[in-house]
Structure 1
Amino acid sequence: MGLANATVAVLGVGIAADVFSLWAGGGVFGVVSDVIDGDYGAVTEDRLDRADTLYGVSGILQGAAMLGAVVLFLCWFHRVRANADVFAPDGHRKTRGWAIGGWFVPIANLWIPRRIAVDIWDASSGNRWLPGAGQETKRRTLLNAWWTLWLTTGIFGQIASRQYRAAEEPEKVKQAVVSLMASDLVNIAAAIVAMLFVRRLTAMQDALARSGWGPRD
Structure 2
Amino acid sequence: MLCSTCRLRPPVTDDGRCLLCAGPAGAAAPMPPAPMPPAFIAPQQYLRSPEGLAKAVVVLLTLVAVADVLAVAAGQNTRRVVAAGLENDFAAYDDAAASLADNLYATAGVLQTLVSLATGVVFIIWFRRVRLNAEVFDPSMQPMRPGWSIGAWFVPIANLVLPRRIAGGIWTASAQTNTDGSWRTVPATVMNLWWGFWVVSLVVSQYATRQSWKAAQPQEILDTTALVMGSDALDIVAAVFAVLFVRALTRMQGERAALGTYPLGTPGVPGRADWGRAH
Q: TM class by shorter-chain length?
A: over 0.9
How many Å apart are 1:215 and its aligned residue? 5.2
Amino acid at match of 1:68: A
Letter in 1 for 2:95: E
Out of 207, 223, 227, the position equivalent to 1:159 is 207
Partner of 1:20: 70
Distance (whole Å) between structure 2 residues aligned to residue 133 and residue 46 of structure 1: 65
Q: Who is 2:226 aligned against? A: 178
Which residue in the other structure is 2:242 paired with?
Answer: 194
| 1:14–1:66 CA contact under 8 A, matched in 2 | yes
Matches for 1:7-46 after TM superposition, within 5 Å: 7-38=57-88, 40=90, 43-46=93-96
Counterpart in the other structure of 1:143: 191
Which of 1 and 2 has greater Rg? 2
| Corresponding position of 1:205 | 253
Mark the runs of 5 or more structure 1 residues left unpaired by the alignment: none
Is the partner of 1:93 in helix, strand or coil?
A: coil
Mapped partners of 2:86, 2:182: distance in 1: 61
1:107, distance to aligned residue in structure 2 (A) = 2.1
The AA in structure 1 aligned to 2:140 is D
Q: Is the partner of 2:156 in helix, strand or coil?
A: coil
Contact 1:149–1:190 (CA under 8 A) maintained in structure 2: yes
Distance 1:128-1:113 versus aligned 2 partners, 3 A rule: farther
For residues 46-80 of structure 1, what are the alpha-carbon distances to aligned partners after superposition, in whole Å with 9 as ceiling and x for unaligned?
10100000000000000001101100110000000
1:63 counterpart letter in structure 2? T
Decide whether the 8 Å contact of 1:83 with 1:215 is kept in 2.
Answer: no
Q: Which amino acid aligns with 2:100?
A: R
Partner of residue 58, structure 1: 108
Distance in 2, matches of 1:38 and 1:142, equals 48
Residues 109, 128 of structure 1: alpha-carbon distance in 2 compared, 3 angstrom cutoff: farther
Q: How many residues align?
A: 215
TM-score with structure 1 length normalisation? 0.93
State whether residues 85 and 91 of structure 2, in contact with CA within 8 Å, keep that contact through their aligned partners in structure 1.
no
Deviation (angstroms), 1:141: 1.1
Q: What is the CA–CA distance in structure 1 between the aligned matches of 2:237 and 2:106, rounded to whole Å?
A: 22
- For 1:58, the aligned partner's letter is A
Q: Which runs of 5+ in 2 are unaligned?
A: 1-50, 262-272
More helix by percentage: 1
1:72 match: 122
Residue 19 to residue 132, structure 1, CA distance change in 2 (3 Å) = farther
- Aligned-pair Cα RMSD in Å: 1.9
CA distance in 2, matches of 1:52, 1:43: 14
Report % sequence identity.
39
